[in-house]
Amino acid sequence: MNQVVIIGGGASGLMAALTAAENPENRVILLERQQRIGRKLLATGNGRCNLTNTGASPANYHGEQAAFAAPALEKFTPRDTLDFFHGLGLLTVEEYGGRVYPLSNSANSVLDVLRFALEKAGVELRCACSARQIMRQGAGYSVQTDAGTLEADRLIVACGGAAGAKLGGVMDGYELLKPLGHKRTALRPSLTQILTEPDYPRALKGVRAQAHVRLTAREELLGESRGELQFTETGVSGPAAFDLSRLAAANGDGLRLHADFLPDGADAFALLCARRETFPDQPASELFTGMLHNRLGRMLVKYAALEANRPLGSLSDKELRRAARACTDFTLAVTGTEGFDNAQVTAGGVRTAGFNPETLESWFMPGLFVCGELLDIDGDCGGYNLQWAWASGRLAGRLGT
Ligand SMILES: Cc1cc2nc3c(=O)[nH]c(=O)nc-3n(C[C@H](O)[C@H](O)[C@H](O)COP(=O)(O)OP(=O)(O)OC[C@H]3O[C@@H](n4cnc5c(N)ncnc54)[C@H](O)[C@@H]3O)c2cc1C
């Protein structure tokens, strides 16, 4: 019998454990420092668990060596994730943008079927048991835990990253691997709220809008995203903001966020001219009525420095061009991002150069595997990070076979 120890009972560790347990030669022991497994999983997707994205491809992933993720993602695709979960009896539904959720709309369902599968596969769970230190011992490893030392012929480290600290995001994985020669990159919060000058967002708090968002530094485009933007007390959140947050966290001062609230190809000036012609007696405050959320429309009128009660018919072309620019290039100065507590994922992690992308085994510590968010791979918003957790957990759980 091979003793396989897995440190971390999150998405990637659970998948690694189930995969390793498919080989009857393996005795699989799963360590989890919290009272129960999958705590973060329960909080994903606002409690609904966006478990994969049918459009996920290596292009959705980032890191110093983003291409490292490709073999794992290609060996276990979103289709494989769906087949795997359907095989466990989970029913799923695909929503806008390829996001997949359990039909029950409850993350509990995902964790429940995984728990049943672990039990059936005979995986030994040890909860409330932290791994404290890993040491090379003979051809294997010894793992010091709160409850004594465990021997491992093969070891999988799946401790996750620093994000979502309230749900168990910790630095443990980085610390456990460092003495074995596996260093990490700088860590930054990602998929988190972008903080901006607060005046406009505060006034728009709670408003959601579809937007094409660009992030610039001194006129240079750093990145862009499309999707829902949500205004908050201190800035912007929602998928369109989340996808730019890793860049906002990495690029320091002088950043600006530009939102275009109209669909691609729309001629804002022509639309506003038509509005002026159709409703010349309406006040300027109604310029965007029917086009955008009312509160956003009124705010854009103010942003364009138009008097709210002037009749639309009295607005000059120059003023309408200003309003057109307001709704296609609404600009906010960026002051930072939220920290790890509120981030969904960690950008950066254990350097991938130390691992074989085809197996996720260490190049210089045979029998040591790493998977999930702990590695320097992070995905976009929309089910991509769990897809990485499943795919990398699957590959690590094969233990190089
Ligand atoms: C609020 C929130 C919402 C999210 N929503 C989504 C979503 O809808 N879709 C999506 O794709 N992604 C989402 N994510 C991201 C996704 O949850 C993570 O990328 C994914 O869970 C990472 O899996 P993992 O197994 O690598 O790490 P984790 O899920 O963090 O699991 C690591 C586990 O290891 C345990 N551990 C750590 N140190 C030790 C130790 N020393 N000994 C023993 N155990 C240890 C931890 O307690 C934890 O249970 C969300 C994240 C958050 C925080």
What backbone phi and psi angles, to 5 degrees, belong to 132?
-105, -30
Give the residue carrying structure tokens 């979502």. 164
Residues 6+ apart with CB under 8 A from 267: none
Residues 6+ apart with CB under 8 A from 14: 30, 37, 38, 114, 118, 393
- Rounded to whole angstroms, what are the CA distances from 174 to 170, 226, 237, 294, 351? 9, 33, 28, 48, 10
What backbone phi and psi angles, to 5 degrees, belong to 183?
-90, 165
Percent of the residues in the chain that have a pLDDT greater than 70, as a whole number: 100
Choice among 151-160, 215-224, 244-253, 301-310 with the minimum mean pLDDT: 244-253
- In angstroms, the CA 307 to CA 302 distance is 7
What local confidence, expressed as pLDDT, does residue 165 receive? 85
**Mean predicted confidence (pLDDT) in 234-239:** 96
> Tens digits of per-residue pLDDT, 102-141?
999 999 999 999 999 999 999 999 999 999 999 999 999 9
What local confidence, expressed as pLDDT, does residue 160 receive? 97
- In angstroms, the CA 278 to CA 77 distance is 51
What local confidence, expressed as pLDDT, does residue 376 receive? 98
Q: Using most ligand atoms within 8 A of CB, pick from 6, 18, 44 the residue to mutate for ligand 1.
A: 44
Q: 136 has which bridge partners?
A: 141
Percent of the residues in the chain that have a pLDDT greater than 90, as a whole number: 97
> Residue 167 pLDDT > 90, yes or no?
no
- Rounded to whole angstroms, what are the CA distances from 114 to 46, 170, 171, 332, 391? 19, 23, 25, 43, 15
State the number of CA atoms in the 13 A half-sphere of 146 facing the CB. Answer: 10
> Tens digits of per-residue pLDDT, 338-376?
999 999 999 999 999 999 999 999 999 999 999 999 999
Evaluate: CB of 167 within 6 angstroms of ligand 1. yes
CA-proximal residue: ligand 1, atom 35 (nearest): 8
**Mean predicted confidence (pLDDT) in 76-89:** 98
- In angstroms, the CA 396 to CA 20 distance is 8
**199: part of which helix (H) or strand (E)?**
helix 199-203
Q: Average pLDDT of the chain?
A: 97
Evaluate: CB of 342 within 6 angstroms of ligand 1. no
| 8 Cα nearest atom in ligand 1 | 34
One-letter amino acid for residue 26 of the chain = N
> Tens digits of per-residue pLDDT, 178-214?
999 999 999 999 999 999 999 999 999 999 999 999 9
> Residue 252 pLDDT > 90, yes or no?
no
CA-proximal residue: ligand 1, atom 42 (nearest): 130
Evaluate: CB of 158 within 6 angstroms of ligand 1. yes
Work out the angle between the directed axes of helices 294-303 and 317-328 (0-180°, nearest 10): 120
Structure-block tokens of residue 303? 């942003």
**Mean predicted confidence (pLDDT) in 18-40:** 97
> Tens digits of per-residue pLDDT, 268-321?
999 999 999 999 999 999 999 999 999 999 999 999 999 999 999 999 999 999
Evaluate: CB of 392 within 6 angstroms of ligand 1. no
Evaluate: CB of 251 within 6 angstroms of ligand 1. no
Evaluate: CB of 397 within 6 angstroms of ligand 1. no
Evaluate: CB of 222 within 6 angstroms of ligand 1. no
CA 110-116-117 angle, to 5 degrees, is: 90
| Helix runs in 64-182, H state only | 70-75, 78-87, 107-121, 172-177
**C-beta atoms surrounding 149 within 10 Å:** 12
> Residue 168 pLDDT > 90, yes or no?
no
- Rounded to whole angstroms, what are the CA distances from 295 to 169, 234, 292, 385? 37, 17, 8, 34
CA 299-303-292 angle, to 5 degrees, is: 40
What is the 8-class DSSP label of residue 193?
P
> Residue 63 pLDDT > 90, yes or no?
yes
**Mean predicted confidence (pLDDT) in 49-69:** 97
